[in-house]
Amino acid sequence: MSRDWQLDMERCKDFTSMESKSVYIKALEYWLQQYKESEELREKLVRGTSKQLFEMERQYAAEKERADKAEQHNVELCKQILETEAREQKLKEALEKIKLLGWSVCFGGGYEYGGEHHAEALSIAGTVLASLYPKEGEE
């Protein structure tokens, strides 16, 4: 059933005579039915949209949690990298000190450890290794 809504609106403006009342009632019933159907459709769309929105929010929350965990993991990895680089630097510095202790022109420019140089080299190595790699339970 199709109606001309503009004509129906014009008839509603002229709603004065009783003989044309049935035409107006038919128009009113038609538009009320149209309104009902559009409201039902709107409610159906709202329910569907709400379900989709709920699902999208659930997926977003899951992705955000996964991203937060990944970010925390990356922070931990960066921290480990920095700690490893600091340990490497300490080892390099200790090895340089030990290398300088053993250098001797008296022995043809070669390396020779003896006496106090040997003890100091062992002390440097022991201190650095103990600070970088403490035994379990001593941290």
| Chain centre distance of CA 51 | 24
Confidence of residue 124 (pLDDT cuts 50, 70, 90): confident
- Regarding pTM above 0.85, the answer is no
Q: What is the pLDDT of residue 101?
A: 67
* Ranges 25-29, 52-56, 85-89: which has the least confidence: 25-29
Task: Give DSSP secondary structure letters for 32-96.
Answer: HHHHHHHHHHHHHHHHHHHHHHHHHHHHHHHHHHHHHHHHHHHHHHHHHHHHHHHHHHHHHHHHH
Assign 130 to helix, strand or coil: helix
Report the percent of the chain where pLDDT is more than 90.
Answer: 29
Rounded distance between C-alpha atoms, residue 35 and residue 43, angstroms: 12
Task: Please state the rounded mean pLDDT for residues 18-31.
Answer: 74
Backbone angles phi, psi at 8, to 5 degrees: -60, -40
Quick: pLDDT tens for 93-108.
Answer: 887 777 666 655 454 4
Rounded Cα–Cα distance for residues 49 and 108 (Å): 87
When pLDDT is cut at 50, 70 and 90, the band that residue 114 belongs to is low
Query: What pLDDT, on a 0 to 100 scale, did the predictor assign at position 7?
Result: 76
**94 contacts 124 by C-beta, under 8 angstroms:** yes
Q: In sequence order, what E strands does 28-75 have?
A: none
The domain limits of the chain are: 5-132
Task: Supply the pLDDT for residue 113.
Answer: 53
